[in-house]
Amino acid sequence: MQPHTTPPSPVAAWHDLVRRHDPTGIDALLADQVVFWSPVVHKPQQGRAVTTMYLTAAFHVFFNDSFRYVREIVGAQDAVLEFETTIDGIVVNGVDLLRWDDAGRITEFKVMVRPLKAITLIHEKMAAMLASAAAARR
Domain boundaries, the chain: 10-137
**Structure pTM?**
0.88
Tell me the average confidence (pLDDT) per consecutive run of 10 residues in the chain, 138 residues long.
Answer: 66 95 94 95 93 92 94 97 96 97 97 94 87 75
Q: What integer pLDDT is reported at residue 72 of this predicted model?
A: 97
94 contacts 83 by C-beta, under 8 angstroms: yes
Q: Are 101 and 88 in contact (CB under 8 A)?
A: no
Asked: is 10-137 a CATH 3.10.450.50 domain? The reply is yes
80 bridge partner residues = 73, 97
Cis peptide before 115 (omega within 30 of 0): yes
**Helix locations, 40-103, DSSP H:** 48-62
